[in-house]
Amino acid sequence: MYPVKQLKKIVLLVLSCLACGHIVAQSDFKFIYPRQTEKIVFKKVRGLMVVQASINNKGPFNLILDTGVGIFLITDPTLRDSLTIKYLKKITISGLGEQPDIQAHFTPTLKVQIGNTIADELPAAILDDDVFNLSAYAGIPIHGLIGYNFFASFIVHIFYETQRINLYTNNLKKISKRYTKTPITIENNKPYCQISAETTSKKKYAVKMLIDTGAGHVVSLETYNDVPFPLPTPNIAANLGIGLGGNIGGFLGRLNNIKIAKFTLNKPICAFPNYKDVALKSFSIARNGSIGNVLLKKFNVIFDYQNGFVYLKPNINFKSVFEHDMSGLEVFASGQNLDRIFVNRVEPNSPAEEIGLQKNDELRTINLKKVKEMSLEDIIALFQSQNNKNLFIEYEQNKTLKRAIITLKRRI
């Protein structure tokens, strides 16, 4: 695990671009017992879906369900020794950002069980270093990410609000007419779709997007016609995350709208990664950007990889406004129980900077409630809850307890 002081906020943008060279081995999941359907619960963490799994009959381990990952990726390197793996081959994984490629080990035969589904010989890449530090980002232990092998094995029906997933055999014949069908392509083991993006200047772009349930953004636009995607006004500089190869910088701004299938979503927040960090990297599949889980959670979603469709039905969150952090704070979880919250970065000219918060400060209370009694999800939600809202915070700075009122401010 990287030291706390080196942690960067992770948006998981990089997960859409994982490339593992020549490794193409695959193994399907199946139901353990004879049945046509199965229900799995997940934990919603910063917009992501976390399920419990056993690996080689050990666990439970927490995995993010991530359509942007083509191969099962174990991000916690300590599992390499604890899982009693017989065969390992050293590999290089290409990523995004400023640093060189990183090292990992490949195994072709892990036994993975999620609920009452199992894959007996699942290939996996195990990182040598936990470059993502996903546990600090999520506030709970995270051990890896699983994508194609799971989603290609079933028809996957996601209910974001009730935090459950229904799995069906791939011979399911009838899907409710209340769902709108839109075609997808499965390329390099990842799903892609076409959408329309309209900028604040009213210009419309037809774009090809990766559908990435492991991305914690609304939408990301990287390139159009082999040049950086036009940046809207206003925008703010942002640290968009960390990739397998290092930091990913860029900007955040709003689009006028996005249209997917027959649905229009107004004023979505869009990430615009630095061209050199993302779009100039070598991709095997040409694309313009990616759709993240913050957009997807406005729908009940059905993935049907076998037949090449995604089905969408708006849920109760469909009309809610897209909001970004209004405090200017990047925070992460630390400590043995991941219940201590520290400041990783303070945005310039933000409410957090105005009251004197600094990197490595520890948040103690928010509105008189102890931070240790709050989930990281709850804290993030408070920081993007309402423009001009006042929050009373207590924090420790250089071993001194301080108190302040932070007034949230919508910056984009």
Find residue 48's DSSP bridge partners: 45
Strand ranges (E), 199-338: 204-211, 219-221, 223-224, 227-228, 235-243, 246-254, 257-260, 263-266, 269-273, 289-291, 299-304, 309-314, 329-334
- 3-state class (DSSP) for residue 291: strand
The gap from C-alpha 370 to its chain's centroid, in whole angstroms, comes to: 27
What span, in angstroms and rounded, lies between the C-alpha atoms of 106 and 146? 15
Give pLDDT, residue 189.
Answer: 92
The C-alpha atoms of residue 123 and residue 111 are separated, in whole angstroms, by: 9
Q: Look at domain 4-168 and name its CATH class.
A: mainly beta
Strand 246-254 and strand 269-273: the pairing is antiparallel
- Residue 175, pLDDT score: 84
- The pair phi, psi for residue 5, each rounded to 5°, is -65, -15
Give Cα separations from 52 to 61, 65, 75, 179, 287 (angstroms): 5, 10, 15, 28, 32
180-314 under CATH 2.40.70.10, yes or no: yes
Tell me the residue type at 105: H
Angle at 137 between CA 133 and CA 141, to 5 degrees: 70
Q: Report the candidate in 135, 143, 142 with the shortest Cα–Cα distance to residue 333.
A: 135
What's residue 226's pLDDT?
86
Q: How far apart are CA 374 and CA 378, in angstroms?
A: 6
348: left (phi over 0), alpha (psi -120 to 50) or beta: beta
SS3 53: strand
Gap between the terminal Cα atoms of the chain:
33
Identify the pLDDT of residue 15: 36
Q: Does an H or E element contain 347, and which? A: none
Instruction: Name the residue among 73, 48, 214, 81 with its Cα closest to residue 149.
Output: 73
Length of the chain, please?
412
CA distances from 73 to 19, 42, 135 (A): 11, 18, 15
Cis amide leading into 191 (omega within 30): no
Give the whole-angstrom CA distance, residue 103 versus residue 108.
17
pLDDT the model gives residue 74: 95
Identify the residue whose tokens are 């103690």.
364
Residue pointed to by tokens 């419990």: 52
Predicted pLDDT at 248: 74
* Torsion angles phi and psi, residue 293, rounded to 5: -70, -20
**Are both 4-168 and 180-314 of the same fold?**
yes
pLDDT below 50 — which residues of the chain? Answer: 1-25, 96-98, 244-245, 282
| Per-residue model confidence (pLDDT) at position 14 | 34
Alpha helices in 55-171 (DSSP H): 79-82, 134-138, 148-151
Give the domain ranges of the chain: 4-168, 180-314, 329-407
Q: Is 25 exposed, middle or buried (0-12, 13-18, 19+ CB in 10 A)?
A: middle
Contacts of 408 (CB under 8 A, 6+ apart): 326, 327, 351, 383, 384, 385, 386, 387, 388, 389, 390, 391
Q: How far apart are CA 27 and CA 149, in angstroms?
A: 6
Q: Which two tokens stand for residue 254?
A: 């709003």
With respect to CATH, is domain 329-407 assigned 2.30.42.10? yes
